[in-house]
Chains A and B, each alone.
Chain A
């Protein structure tokens, strides 16, 4: 790029006395006690503003015991795709270990990314751990470099090994799916989005022979301070998002509202996609 000579160039102002200044660049390593490291900064920055995901659950918790109705009372009969796999199941105590859907193959292309990830067990997996990229901590100390002489290309000091994704997932599911995937909560923390019909005794979700007592618990204090529960209309389909407690067969909801028709129409696709994702993920657990 051609540099234009500017007749109005300002005279060079010596920044300091040239005679006294040493022309030796700062190449010598200073004594350790003089160097400035960033430990103070590093201690704060890595924890930033990321509280664990379960903070969201503390607000407005409503417990729903999940029950399955006969399919006649049902929503979309296509939700039966789990029913056929669990026909022989006895209640909710033994979820089927292999969650097969022989009639359905997920499109491979969309999920190839989950196979590409090299799966290594992350150390100390805790559901509340923030995104796993912090696994490799590079040296944060102030690096003093020699500016003269040949500079070797700096190798990247951070290494991002692909690890099993352990950040929170939100899965659309049906009851059986929820019961099945919740087994893996430790390795893959998640919330469920569920569609169900409100009936006399509480929220019921259609399909499947499983019977479980169905009741609604309001955690009065938290619900009233956070959000008013919407008037739940009997017979209307509602959408819930929450955490499934396997031991009590209760869905602890943080969000309930009437479902939109467009949501119901698309719920099946959502369930299919989530199942495929979880199936691929669970497969990697057993490969380790």
Chain B
């Protein structure tokens, strides 16, 4: 949405993205060739209502909150996510502390144990199918997405299946719970595709679990600080491998 109106700009600048619902009436919608998409432009007739008390707003708020909790909204593979460029080493507690001190996302490396890694629980808890448009979890035999607010509602379901589980990372300073481990990072770490994983026996999955559970790993993480939508620090795993004990670093520069 564009605005040339100072008052509106002020209003919008103060709003927290992903935490605010806007009801916008009388906004001009154009196709913008520069941005190659539909854009909305505020004019003098436009009325913006912040956080209106309506059922639809409530549903939208809930949807975004859930998406924020599970981290689906925040995941976009960007070039800076690639582990090669992440070099800052933290302990678990340092990660948490930094996330509290500096309320913006950051990247880091931790050398820690994996203290929860339930890859051998039921496959449905490890591999999930999500609508590609709204990231809601769906079952892939559906005709269309079950999310009322899905942008693709009314069209056929477009879904993607991949690894999608939560792991805990622990070191001598504490535990970071509920870190997301998803495709394609999981495939690299587990060295198997979703299909291969699904065809494994229970014993094979258990072996896979114990390859990493309570072992020292070198883990690249993307950290999201707490927000109004989510208490607690959220971590997303960008890369994970067993650590070479000789390279484990306990001393950090932070």
Contact B49 A277 (CB under 8 A): no
Q: Of B34, B57, B244, which one neighbours A262 at CB under 8 angstroms? A: B244
Which residues of A are in contact with B by a Cβ distance under 8 Å?
Answer: 3-4, 6, 8-10, 12, 15, 21, 23, 25-26, 30, 34-36, 38, 41, 45-46, 48-51, 53, 55-56, 107, 109-110, 113-114, 116-117, 130-131, 133-134, 136-138, 142-145, 147, 151, 153-154, 156-158, 160, 162, 165-172, 191, 193, 226-227, 241, 254-255, 260, 262-263, 265-266, 269-270, 273-274, 277-278
Contact A4 B245 (CB under 8 A): no
* 5 tightest A-B CB contacts, nearest first: A36-B58, A167-B175, A147-B50, A273-B250, A266-B245
Q: Of A35, A116, A171, which one neighbours B53 at CB under 8 angstroms? A: A35
A54 to chain B, nearest CB (A): 11
**In the complex, how many residues of chain B place their beta carbon closer than 8 angstroms to a beta carbon of chain A?**
73
Q: Of A4, A12, A15, A169, which one neighbours B170 at CB under 8 angstroms? A: A169
Contact A170 B172 (CB under 8 A): yes
Binds A, one of B134-142, B150-158, B183-191, B224-232: B224-232
Interface of B, secondary structure class, is mixed
Contact A151 B14 (CB under 8 A): yes
Contact B31 A168 (CB under 8 A): no
Contacts of A142 in B (CB 8 A): 51, 53, 57-58, 61
Q: Give B139-198 interface residues, CB cut-off 8 Å to A.
A: 166, 168, 170-178
Which residue of A has the minimal Cβ distance to B232? A133
Contacts of A3 in B (CB 8 A): 2, 32, 34, 41
Which residue of A has the minimal Cβ distance to B250? A273
Contacts of A138 in B (CB 8 A): 228, 231
Which of B29, B66, B245 is packed against the most chain A CB atoms within 10 Å?
A: B245
